[in-house]
Structure 1
Amino acid sequence: MIEILIVLAALVLAVLFVVRPGRVRPAQLAPFQGWNYAHRGLHTQDKQVAENSLPAFAAAVAAGYGMELDVQLSKDGQVVVFHDDTLDRVTGVQGRVDAFTWEELQKMPLCGGAERMPLFTEVLAVVEGKTPLIVELKSGPRNRELCQKTLALLREYEGPFCVESFDPTVVAWFKNNAPDIVRGQLADDFGSYKKMPAPMAFALSRCLGNCLARPQFIAWGPRKKNVMVKLAEAFGPMKVFWTAHADMDTEALQAEYDGVIFEFYAPPPRY
């Protein structure tokens, strides 16, 4: 009986060790707490203002919102702001973003309008440190290069920012190379990782990569949380929600989460 209790205790301790988030000082989190973050900028449902476009970020700044955006690399190594791995949904062009040079990407209108995919430096120039940024690094075949170049650009930027990724190895890179920057783990329910092998989907949906990344906040999607995620949150990291819509109980979300990423409605900038 004692042996069984010892084994069970060891298993519990192992689980807690794996999901434990990283330590962070309250002062580090303060610039990001209590904000509503415009998802990919303040874009519109009718696509008149395209997601991740300069007008979308300018509109978010003007409205006083924080904002969440996505960075990845072009073929020639430019850090661009764009969400999807592939171009077809937003530009109508077939192929991956990293298969085209920056010059080629500039010929592709966003959502059929006049705007083009911006460089990360262009977005930073629009925001000018006026509101906080959550910068998501997209995972791909050149993660190290993306991390290095994004970090270099952020080091030159004067304003509040934090980083996040669905890929715990990207988050771990920032833990090891820029521990002063607040970092977060994006996660969602098992069913959302449809393109991944089941063991990897299980690990990511349970935040088992925390043992590598030690994220200081967890950004969770709209689906029900599993026990592992709840255990990770019990350690007290900052909690971020994505993505809120007007038909949700937004007041309840703001009460539960330190930051809420939203789209297609107009919540107060701060809560």
Structure 2
Amino acid sequence: MTHIFAHRGSAGTHPENTMISFMEAARVEADGIELDVQLSRDGVVVVIHDETVNRTTDGTGWVGQMTYRQLRKLNANYKFKKYGFCPIPSLQEVLEWAKNTSLLINIELKNNLIPYERLEEKVIELVERYDLASRVIFSSFNHESMATCHQLAPHIETALLYMEKLHRPWSYAHTLQALALHPYHPTVNRSFVEAAHAHHLLVRPFTINKEELMKTMFQYEVDGIFTDFPEKAQNVREKTLRSL
């Protein structure tokens, strides 16, 4: 069955990458959550998508130039003002909560623009501390980082994020010892999914928000989808499975 990952939590209905968004994903019984990590100036792994705080908080500036304490003072409720004050969580805070759920956890390392020093080591250390290696997937557009993660923790799944259509991506993935492809959805069709599966790779496209596209991906039998609307995806999956 295709897993439903709540992209940045239930980002279509709640402030992205916040505890309230992840809790909503658990409430609607998503199979997993997806979140983005970077480093604060003082080396804390924080959960935020953009390299600056400008879009999703009431502050301005670069994440990597602010201390964790400074970041925590910002309100990350973004466009969902009705939820009140929503701080930027640390990865530790999310994992502390997630260990008491059954959720899969896709951790995207946001180090393709800024090469945060030792981000891989710090993230792996936290995953191990909470004994979550079997439920975690590392992904990134920085494929060098995924190779590093595999070298440091070969027992934790790595996945390659990419936007453009690739020639024989399974061959490339195998050279990096990645177990999954996380492609931009326009590059995905049924024959691609079948070929990836034939090469023993999982396929989880992003970001699947429209009902018709959800239905198509479920029919392709992809291994997972990333969506901002996990509750809607649950309903579509149920209907699609009934019709097959």
- Classify the TM-score, shorter chain: 0.7 to 0.9
Indicate the residue corresponding to 2:65 in structure 1: 99
| Structure (1 or 2) with the larger CA radius of gyration | 1
Alignment equivalent of 1:244, drawn from 182, 188, 208: 208
Greater mean deviation of Cα atoms: 58-67 or 69-78: 58-67
Is the 2:39–2:64 Cα contact (8 Å) retained in structure 1?
yes
1:165/1:220 Cα in 2 relative to 1: closer, same or farther (>3 Å)? same
The answer to whether structure 1 residue 63 and structure 2 residue 28 are counterparts is: yes
Counting matched residue pairs gives 222
User: Per-residue CA shift, 1:164-216, capped at 9, x if unaligned?
Assistant: 111011100012111111110001127xxxxxxxxxxx89x968864752311
Is the 1:187–1:207 Cα contact (8 Å) retained in structure 2?
no
User: Per-residue CA shift, 1:73-110, capped at 9, x if unaligned?
Assistant: 00100000001111111114332110100111112111
Instruction: Write out aligned runs for 1:1-271 (5 A).
Output: 34-45=2-13, 49-65=14-30, 66-110=32-76, 111=78, 113-128=84-99, 129-139=101-111, 140-159=113-132, 160-189=135-164, 210=173, 213-224=176-187, 233=196, 235-256=199-220, 257-264=222-229, 266-268=232-234
TM norm structure 2 = 0.80
Partners of 1:51 and 1:106 lie apart in 2 by 15
Structure 1 unaligned segments of length 5 or more: list them: 1-32, 191-201
Higher relative contact order (Cα pairs below 8 Å, separated by 6+ residues)? 1
TM norm structure 1 = 0.73
Question: What is the identity, as a one-letter code, of the residue corresponding to 1:93?
Answer: G
Aligned-pair CA distance for 1:161: 1.2
Instruction: Look up the SS of the partner of 2:123 in the other structure.
Output: helix
Question: What is the identity, as a one-letter code, of the residue corresponding to 2:199?
Answer: F
Partners of 1:118 and 1:178 lie apart in 2 by 24
Question: What is the identity, as a one-letter code, of the residue corresponding to 2:41?
Answer: K
Partners of 2:12 and 2:2 lie apart in 1 by 23
Is the 2:211–2:233 Cα contact (8 Å) retained in structure 1?
no
Greater mean deviation of Cα atoms: 53-62 or 33-42: 33-42
Greater mean deviation of Cα atoms: 138-147 or 178-187: 138-147
Question: What is the identity, as a one-letter code, of the residue corresponding to 1:153?
Answer: L
Partners of 1:259 and 1:162 lie apart in 2 by 12
Question: What is the RMSD computed on CA atoms of the aligned residues?
Answer: 2.7
Is the 2:121–2:152 Cα contact (8 Å) retained in structure 1?
no
Partners of 1:138 and 1:123 lie apart in 2 by 17
Structure 2 unaligned segments of length 5 or more: list them: 239-244
Moved over 3 A (4+): 140-144, 205-212, 229-232
Question: What is the identity, as a one-letter code, of the residue corresponding to 2:93?
Answer: E
Indicate the residue corresponding to 1:29 in structure 2: none
Instruction: Look up the SS of the partner of 1:76 in the other structure.
Output: coil
1:232/1:137 Cα in 2 relative to 1: closer, same or farther (>3 Å)? farther
Question: What is the identity, as a one-letter code, of the residue corresponding to 1:243?
Answer: T
Question: What is the identity, as a one-letter code, of the residue corresponding to 2:120?
Answer: C
Aligned-pair CA distance for 1:263: 1.1
Partners of 1:207 and 1:77 lie apart in 2 by 34
Question: What is the identity, as a one-letter code, of the residue corresponding to 2:131?
Answer: E
Aligned-pair CA distance for 1:64: 1.4
1:44/1:231 Cα in 2 relative to 1: closer, same or farther (>3 Å)? closer
